[in-house]
Chain A
Amino acid sequence: MTEPEAETDPEPDGGRDDRPQAHTIRLELADEPGELLSALEPIADEGGNLLSIFHERGHITPRGRIPVEVDLECPPSRFEGILERLRNEGINVVDADAERYGEHLTVLLVGDLVGTDISDTVTRVESSPAATVEDLSLSAPGGPAEQASARLRLATRAGAADEALGIVRTVAAEKGLHAIEPLTEVSR
């Protein structure tokens, strides 16, 4: 017998807080064999899902250590545990989530937002490690049956704005919504 589906998500809104989220931690490791592995093991042990590891071997800090950037995904409630475990193992944690959401971008969605479940739209965008929805404003002057507009403020990791926009674009296309994207302007 399989479990009834309803039990997998008893609180569609209230249960959202502890869904896995992406985090970035920066470590400094001694230039010795096995150091990287000993830093990654605690993350996996504590329930973290490794997304990427950037191991900057060519670059050495003034203290002779090698900087490593680790992207991982875990429920927010477990993140502190991972950091504590790393520190207990004697690993130098330089930054946790300092640059994680380094960029913000705003995008408009236009169309039948209510009929296409705006809550689901936000959830779908947030399911990507590239973006979290920080703010949502909705305007439906003609009532729920008419064309409505939404303004989404997204936080993305530095350099991941294109990826975040790609997710918005995909979700919008699937739901027949019109996405008005921000312009990445000439750097000045």
Chain B
Amino acid sequence: MSRIAVVGCGAVGRSVVDLAGDHGHDVVAVADSQGAAVDPAGLETRAVLERKAADGAVGDAAPADALAAPYDVLVEATPTTLGDAEPGFSHVARALSRDRHVVLANKGPVAERYGDVRELEAASRGSVLFEATVGGAIPVLGTIDDYGPERITAARGVLNGTANFVLTRMAAEGLDYEHVLAEAQDMGVAEADPSFDVEGTDAALKCVILANVLACGEREFTLDDATVEGITRVPGSALDLAAEDGRTVRLVGEATADEVRVGPRLVPDTSPLAVSGTRNVVQVETAHADGIDLSGRGAGGPETATAVLADVGRLPPLD
């Protein structure tokens, strides 16, 4: 059992708070951008979530109070930011300086400042895990860790549910990109500003994280090192021609220890990578056992929280 502090109270942070008890953990602090709720003896999580739903803030304490709370594991679930990856990076640094563990749902620190995070971790008794940053509930990083990243030659997959939903609908309905995107926005599958998903940035961040893991410290990647192309230039006619030939187009991300590449690719209909709708899939290519296919839900509050709490369970005791 661990004492958890959750920073960031979006869909993922709220689900972590909601499901922590089910995993046998106590939530001792929750912070959003407005305030915080802190109780070293364990918060009444339902009350915290009800208050968040009612007035948009989790509590009256200052957000910084959550970072100072007596937790074992800090769950960093603030929105992903690029460049300096703040404020997420500072939250990670603070927890590690206190010799506490960190579990990231925020991709920023491990996509943009992987070397810095690893350096701080090396100087701390705490560890950093980030399963939730790649493929939601799918145990991609856990699988790579089990085999050893040095025995994984590549990872590739469909890592953005919004882009995959759009491509799936375009192929099924013979509609063009703009029509399907509008539909996806109405359904809540795509955000009002979908560029992060449809331009390939989100998938690229996940692949950058994979490449950082596969490089085993030999090389550090950031988003700038990735070759990225989105799906906005894929017309319905291209999907029609692919379908005539038993194929389809998927936004595929590829990561090795040397390269990160994201772009629309032709895959056979029968390929494990030809997943439908918002599902994600990752193929892990092993040195001695060919490919391992992992698929499942790559986004969503409870799905991502499931990966976060799996990480919390993997962490060693601190004392």
Chain A interface residues toward B at CB < 8 A: 106-108, 110, 137, 139-141, 147-151, 153, 178, 180-183, 185-188
User: Which residues of A lie under 8 Å from residue B267 when comparing CB positions?
Assistant: 182-183, 185
Contact with A along B123-162 (1 / 0, CB 8 A): 0000000000000000000000000000000101000000
- Are B266 and A183 in touch, CB under 8 angstroms? yes
- Are B252 and A186 in touch, CB under 8 angstroms? no
* A181 in complex: contacting residue of B156, B265, B285, CB < 8 Å: B265
Stretch at the interface among B56-64, B189-197, B233-241: B233-241
CA distance A110 to B266 in the complex (A): 13
User: Which residues of B lie under 8 Å from residue A151 when comparing CB positions?
Assistant: 241-242, 244-245
CA distance A53 to B234 in the complex (A): 42
Chain B interface residues toward A at CB < 8 A: 154, 156, 233-238, 240-242, 244-245, 247, 249, 252, 263-267, 271, 273, 283, 285, 290-291
User: Which residues of A lie under 8 Å from residue B156 when comparing CB positions?
Assistant: 183, 186
- Are A180 and B236 in touch, CB under 8 angstroms? no
* B233 in complex: contacting residue of A110, A185, A186, A188, CB < 8 Å: A110
- Are B290 and A108 in touch, CB under 8 angstroms? no
Question: What 6 additional pairs, Cβ within 8 angstroms, besides A139-B240, A186-B291?
Answer: A137-B244, A180-B234, A180-B266, A182-B265, A183-B156, A186-B154
User: Which residues of B lie under 8 Å from residue A149 when comparing CB positions?
Assistant: 235, 237-238, 240-241
User: Which residues of A lie under 8 Å from residue B264 when comparing CB positions?
Assistant: 180
- Are B241 and A107 in touch, CB under 8 angstroms? no
- Are B235 and A110 in touch, CB under 8 angstroms? yes
List 8 tightest A-B contacts by C-beta distance, closest first: A186-B291, A139-B237, A149-B238, A149-B237, A151-B241, A183-B265, A182-B266, A186-B285
Given contact pairs A182-B265, A182-B266, A187 touches B291 in the complex (Cβ within 8 A): yes
CA distance A178 to B242 in the complex (A): 15
CA distance A140 to B238 in the complex (A): 10
| Nearest neighbor of A147 in chain B, beta-carbon distance | B235
Smallest CB separation, A8 vs chain B (Å): 34
Smallest CB separation, B111 vs chain A (Å): 23
Smallest CB separation, B218 vs chain A (Å): 22
Smallest CB separation, B115 vs chain A (Å): 29
User: Which residues of A lie under 8 Å from residue B247 when comparing CB positions?
Assistant: 106, 182
CA distance A15 to B245 in the complex (A): 30
**A140, A153, A185 interface centre (most CB from chain B within 10 Å):** A185
Smallest CB separation, A178 vs chain B (Å): 5
| Nearest neighbor of B236 in chain A, beta-carbon distance | A141
- Are A180 and B249 in touch, CB under 8 angstroms? yes
- Are A185 and B271 in touch, CB under 8 angstroms? yes
| Nearest neighbor of A153 in chain B, beta-carbon distance | B245
